[in-house]
Structure 1
Protein backbone atom coordinates (compact mmCIF):
# COMPACT_ATOMS: atom_id res chain seq x y z
CA UNK A 1 0.00 0.00 0.00
CA UNK A 2 2.70 2.50 0.96
CA UNK A 3 4.65 1.61 -2.23
CA UNK A 4 1.63 2.61 -4.25
CA UNK A 5 1.54 6.00 -2.45
CA UNK A 6 5.24 6.61 -3.10
CA UNK A 7 4.85 5.63 -6.75
CA UNK A 8 1.86 7.97 -7.13
CA UNK A 9 3.79 10.81 -5.46
CA UNK A 10 6.86 10.27 -7.66
CA UNK A 11 4.72 10.19 -10.80
CA UNK A 12 3.00 13.41 -9.77
CA UNK A 13 6.35 15.13 -9.20
CA UNK A 14 7.62 14.04 -12.63
CA UNK A 15 4.45 15.22 -14.35
CA UNK A 16 4.64 18.60 -12.60
CA UNK A 17 8.29 19.03 -13.58
CA UNK A 18 7.42 18.43 -17.22
CA UNK A 19 4.36 20.71 -17.18
CA UNK A 20 5.83 23.62 -15.24
CA UNK A 21 8.53 25.22 -17.34
CA UNK A 22 10.51 28.22 -16.10
CA UNK A 23 9.89 31.40 -18.05
CA UNK A 24 11.92 34.52 -18.55
CA UNK A 25 10.42 37.97 -18.21
CA UNK A 26 9.91 39.36 -21.66
CA UNK A 27 9.02 42.71 -23.08
CA UNK A 28 7.18 43.94 -26.14
CA UNK A 29 10.23 46.02 -26.94
CA UNK A 30 12.87 44.95 -29.38
CA UNK A 31 16.42 44.94 -28.03
CA UNK A 32 17.40 48.27 -29.61
CA UNK A 33 14.38 50.06 -28.14
CA UNK A 34 14.96 48.55 -24.73
CA UNK A 35 18.63 49.56 -24.83
CA UNK A 36 17.77 53.14 -25.74
CA UNK A 37 15.15 53.38 -22.97
CA UNK A 38 17.49 51.88 -20.40
CA UNK A 39 20.24 54.35 -21.23
CA UNK A 40 17.83 57.31 -21.24
CA UNK A 41 16.10 56.32 -17.97
CA UNK A 42 18.07 58.75 -15.74
CA UNK A 43 17.45 61.66 -18.14
CA UNK A 44 13.76 60.80 -18.45
CA UNK A 45 13.34 60.70 -14.67
CA UNK A 46 15.30 63.95 -14.33
CA UNK A 47 12.90 65.69 -16.73
CA UNK A 48 9.84 64.29 -14.92
CA UNK A 49 11.21 65.54 -11.59
CA UNK A 50 11.90 68.97 -13.03
CA UNK A 51 8.44 69.40 -14.57
CA UNK A 52 6.31 68.00 -11.75
CA UNK A 53 8.17 69.66 -8.84
CA UNK A 54 6.00 72.76 -9.38
CA UNK A 55 2.77 70.73 -9.54
CA UNK A 56 3.12 67.92 -7.00
CA UNK A 57 4.71 67.41 -3.60
CA UNK A 58 5.65 63.85 -4.59
CA UNK A 59 7.77 63.22 -7.66
CA UNK A 60 6.15 60.78 -10.09
CA UNK A 61 7.99 57.95 -11.75
CA UNK A 62 7.30 56.15 -15.02
CA UNK A 63 7.28 52.63 -16.43
CA UNK A 64 10.48 52.15 -18.45
CA UNK A 65 9.01 49.19 -20.36
CA UNK A 66 7.18 51.34 -22.90
CA UNK A 67 5.60 49.88 -26.02
CA UNK A 68 7.47 50.68 -29.23
CA UNK A 69 4.62 52.93 -30.40
CA UNK A 70 5.51 55.28 -27.52
CA UNK A 71 9.05 55.78 -28.77
CA UNK A 72 10.34 57.09 -32.08
CA UNK A 73 14.01 56.74 -32.98
CA UNK A 74 15.72 58.46 -35.88
CA UNK A 75 19.24 57.33 -36.79
CA UNK A 76 21.54 59.83 -38.49
CA UNK A 77 25.26 59.78 -39.30
CA UNK A 78 26.13 62.27 -36.55
CA UNK A 79 23.46 61.57 -33.94
CA UNK A 80 20.31 59.74 -32.88
CA UNK A 81 17.00 61.49 -32.22
CA UNK A 82 14.67 59.86 -29.72
CA UNK A 83 11.14 60.95 -28.84
CA UNK A 84 9.43 59.15 -25.97
CA UNK A 85 5.87 59.58 -24.80
CA UNK A 86 5.48 58.68 -21.14
CA UNK A 87 2.73 58.51 -18.56
CA UNK A 88 4.24 59.40 -15.17
CA UNK A 89 2.47 58.01 -12.12
CA UNK A 90 2.43 58.15 -8.34
CA UNK A 91 1.61 55.48 -5.79
CA UNK A 92 -0.04 52.36 -7.16
CA UNK A 93 0.30 53.47 -10.80
CA UNK A 94 -2.04 56.47 -10.59
CA UNK A 95 -1.30 58.37 -13.80
CA UNK A 96 -0.73 62.09 -13.31
CA UNK A 97 -0.18 63.12 -16.91
CA UNK A 98 1.16 62.38 -20.34
CA UNK A 99 4.40 63.92 -21.54
CA UNK A 100 6.61 63.83 -24.62
CA UNK A 101 10.37 64.26 -24.36
CA UNK A 102 12.71 64.73 -27.33
CA UNK A 103 16.39 63.80 -27.01
CA UNK A 104 19.44 64.09 -29.22
CA UNK A 105 22.26 61.63 -28.59
CA UNK A 106 25.53 62.43 -30.33
CA UNK A 107 28.09 59.84 -31.41
CA UNK A 108 30.07 60.34 -28.19
CA UNK A 109 27.02 59.39 -26.12
CA UNK A 110 26.18 62.90 -24.93
CA UNK A 111 22.44 63.22 -24.33
CA UNK A 112 20.75 66.56 -24.91
CA UNK A 113 17.12 67.24 -24.04
CA UNK A 114 15.61 69.10 -26.97
CA UNK A 115 12.06 69.52 -25.73
CA UNK A 116 9.74 68.54 -22.91
CA UNK A 117 6.08 68.81 -23.84
CA UNK A 118 3.34 68.26 -21.29
CA UNK A 119 0.42 66.85 -23.26
CA UNK A 120 -2.30 66.42 -20.65
CA UNK A 121 -3.12 66.03 -16.96
CA UNK A 122 -4.99 63.17 -15.36
CA UNK A 123 -7.14 63.71 -12.28
CA UNK A 124 -5.97 62.00 -9.13
CA UNK A 125 -8.43 60.16 -6.88
CA UNK A 126 -9.58 61.99 -3.71
CA UNK A 127 -7.17 60.09 -1.45
CA UNK A 128 -4.20 61.37 -3.53
CA UNK A 129 -5.26 65.01 -4.05
CA UNK A 130 -3.15 66.03 -1.04
CA UNK A 131 0.02 65.87 -3.17
CA UNK A 132 -1.24 68.57 -5.58
CA UNK A 133 0.43 71.92 -4.97
CA UNK A 134 -2.05 74.76 -4.76
CA UNK A 135 -1.27 77.64 -7.10
CA UNK A 136 -1.42 81.06 -5.48
Structure 2
Protein backbone atom coordinates (compact mmCIF):
# COMPACT_ATOMS: atom_id res chain seq x y z
CA UNK A 1 0.00 0.00 0.00
CA UNK A 2 2.86 2.38 0.83
CA UNK A 3 4.49 1.77 -2.56
CA UNK A 4 1.26 2.70 -4.29
CA UNK A 5 1.29 6.12 -2.58
CA UNK A 6 5.05 6.81 -2.56
CA UNK A 7 5.84 5.99 -6.21
CA UNK A 8 3.17 8.27 -7.72
CA UNK A 9 4.10 11.03 -5.26
CA UNK A 10 7.78 10.88 -6.24
CA UNK A 11 6.89 10.82 -9.94
CA UNK A 12 4.61 13.81 -9.47
CA UNK A 13 7.41 15.77 -7.77
CA UNK A 14 9.94 14.87 -10.46
CA UNK A 15 7.66 15.71 -13.36
CA UNK A 16 6.22 18.96 -11.98
CA UNK A 17 7.96 21.95 -13.55
CA UNK A 18 9.89 24.21 -11.20
CA UNK A 19 8.17 27.38 -10.09
CA UNK A 20 9.83 30.44 -11.56
CA UNK A 21 9.74 33.81 -9.92
CA UNK A 22 7.74 36.45 -11.72
CA UNK A 23 9.88 39.19 -10.17
CA UNK A 24 11.49 41.56 -12.62
CA UNK A 25 15.29 41.64 -12.87
CA UNK A 26 17.13 44.61 -11.32
CA UNK A 27 17.53 46.16 -14.74
CA UNK A 28 16.11 45.82 -18.22
CA UNK A 29 17.50 43.06 -20.43
CA UNK A 30 16.39 43.02 -24.06
CA UNK A 31 15.81 39.75 -25.88
CA UNK A 32 18.92 38.03 -27.23
CA UNK A 33 19.90 39.03 -30.78
CA UNK A 34 17.13 41.64 -30.90
CA UNK A 35 17.44 45.15 -32.32
CA UNK A 36 17.06 46.45 -28.75
CA UNK A 37 20.05 44.40 -27.63
CA UNK A 38 22.04 45.75 -30.58
CA UNK A 39 21.11 49.33 -29.64
CA UNK A 40 21.98 48.73 -25.97
CA UNK A 41 25.37 47.29 -26.95
CA UNK A 42 25.98 50.29 -29.21
CA UNK A 43 25.04 52.66 -26.38
CA UNK A 44 27.43 50.90 -23.97
CA UNK A 45 30.22 51.03 -26.56
CA UNK A 46 29.78 54.79 -26.96
CA UNK A 47 29.54 55.40 -23.20
CA UNK A 48 32.44 53.10 -22.25
CA UNK A 49 35.31 55.63 -22.65
CA UNK A 50 33.58 57.97 -20.17
CA UNK A 51 32.87 55.10 -17.78
CA UNK A 52 36.47 53.91 -18.01
CA UNK A 53 37.83 57.42 -17.34
CA UNK A 54 35.64 57.85 -14.25
CA UNK A 55 36.56 54.42 -12.89
CA UNK A 56 40.28 54.97 -13.55
CA UNK A 57 40.15 58.35 -11.77
CA UNK A 58 38.44 56.90 -8.72
CA UNK A 59 40.62 53.81 -8.32
CA UNK A 60 43.90 55.68 -8.96
CA UNK A 61 43.82 56.69 -5.28
CA UNK A 62 43.63 53.05 -4.17
CA UNK A 63 45.30 50.86 -6.80
CA UNK A 64 48.53 51.06 -8.79
CA UNK A 65 46.77 49.44 -11.76
CA UNK A 66 43.69 50.88 -13.41
CA UNK A 67 40.79 48.42 -13.40
CA UNK A 68 38.84 47.80 -16.59
CA UNK A 69 35.10 47.87 -17.19
CA UNK A 70 33.73 45.62 -19.90
CA UNK A 71 30.48 46.53 -21.68
CA UNK A 72 28.81 43.33 -20.50
CA UNK A 73 29.51 44.41 -16.89
CA UNK A 74 27.35 47.52 -17.18
CA UNK A 75 23.81 47.51 -15.84
CA UNK A 76 21.39 50.34 -16.50
CA UNK A 77 19.66 51.30 -13.27
CA UNK A 78 17.76 54.33 -14.51
CA UNK A 79 17.35 56.30 -17.75
CA UNK A 80 15.23 59.39 -18.16
CA UNK A 81 14.74 62.29 -20.55
CA UNK A 82 15.29 65.55 -18.72
CA UNK A 83 13.68 67.90 -21.23
CA UNK A 84 10.41 66.23 -22.20
CA UNK A 85 9.17 63.84 -24.83
CA UNK A 86 11.61 63.38 -27.70
CA UNK A 87 14.08 65.73 -26.04
CA UNK A 88 17.71 64.75 -26.43
CA UNK A 89 18.93 65.43 -22.92
CA UNK A 90 19.20 62.37 -20.71
CA UNK A 91 20.17 61.40 -17.19
CA UNK A 92 21.50 57.83 -17.02
CA UNK A 93 22.50 55.92 -13.89
CA UNK A 94 24.49 52.72 -14.37
CA UNK A 95 26.18 50.15 -12.17
CA UNK A 96 29.58 48.74 -13.08
CA UNK A 97 31.91 46.07 -11.74
CA UNK A 98 35.51 47.04 -12.55
CA UNK A 99 38.05 44.21 -12.75
CA UNK A 100 41.83 43.69 -12.78
CA UNK A 101 43.77 40.86 -14.34
CA UNK A 102 41.78 37.78 -15.24
CA UNK A 103 38.45 39.38 -14.28
CA UNK A 104 39.07 39.86 -10.55
CA UNK A 105 36.35 42.31 -9.44
CA UNK A 106 37.63 45.22 -7.34
CA UNK A 107 34.30 46.83 -6.50
CA UNK A 108 30.82 47.87 -7.46
CA UNK A 109 30.12 51.45 -8.45
CA UNK A 110 27.19 53.60 -9.55
CA UNK A 111 27.75 56.36 -12.07
CA UNK A 112 25.27 58.99 -13.18
CA UNK A 113 25.83 60.76 -16.49
CA UNK A 114 24.13 63.71 -18.10
CA UNK A 115 24.05 63.05 -21.84
CA UNK A 116 23.31 65.57 -24.58
CA UNK A 117 24.07 65.38 -28.32
CA UNK A 118 27.30 67.31 -27.75
CA UNK A 119 28.50 66.17 -24.31
CA UNK A 120 28.64 63.34 -21.80
CA UNK A 121 29.18 64.66 -18.29
CA UNK A 122 29.73 62.59 -15.15
CA UNK A 123 27.32 63.98 -12.54
CA UNK A 124 27.92 61.52 -9.70
CA UNK A 125 30.20 58.62 -8.84
CA UNK A 126 29.19 56.41 -5.90
CA UNK A 127 31.47 53.62 -4.74
CA UNK A 128 29.02 51.04 -3.40
CA UNK A 129 31.21 48.13 -2.39
CA UNK A 130 34.87 47.07 -2.27
CA UNK A 131 35.81 43.48 -3.07
CA UNK A 132 38.87 41.79 -1.64
CA UNK A 133 41.48 40.91 -4.22
CA UNK A 134 43.08 37.45 -4.37
CA UNK A 135 46.44 37.11 -2.57
CA UNK A 136 48.43 37.27 -5.82
CA UNK A 137 46.83 40.68 -6.63
CA UNK A 138 47.29 42.30 -3.20
CA UNK A 139 50.46 44.06 -4.36
CA UNK A 140 48.48 46.53 -6.53
CA UNK A 141 46.78 48.01 -3.44
CA UNK A 142 48.35 51.38 -2.56
CA UNK A 143 49.66 51.66 0.98
CA UNK A 144 48.56 54.76 2.90
| TM-score, normalised relative to structure 2 | 0.68
The structure 1 segments of at least 4 consecutive aligned residues displaced by more than 2 Å after TM superposition are: none
Could you list the runs of 5+ residues in structure 2 that have no partner in the other structure?
Answer: 1-32
User: Higher Cα Rg: structure 1 or 2?
Assistant: 1
| Structure 2 Cα separation of the partners of residues 41 and 110 of structure 1 | 14
Could you list the runs of 5+ residues in structure 1 that have no partner in the other structure?
Answer: 1-25
Q: What RMSD over aligned residues (CA atoms) do the two structures have, in Å?
A: 2.0
| Structure 1 Cα separation of the partners of residues 118 and 37 of structure 2 | 20
For 2:118, the equivalent position in structure 1 comes to 109
SS in 1 for 2:72: coil
Distance 1:32 1:80, change over 3 A: farther
Deviation at 1:65, TM superposition (A): 1.8
Deviation at 1:78, TM superposition (A): 4.3
For 2:103, the equivalent position in structure 1 comes to 93
SS in 2 for 1:112: strand
The superposition leaves residues 79-122 of structure 1 with CA deviations (integer Å, 9 ceiling, x where unpaired) of 0111110000000000000001100111x331111100000100
Which of 110, 121, 126 is the equivalent residue of 2:130?
121
Question: How many residues are aligned here?
Answer: 107
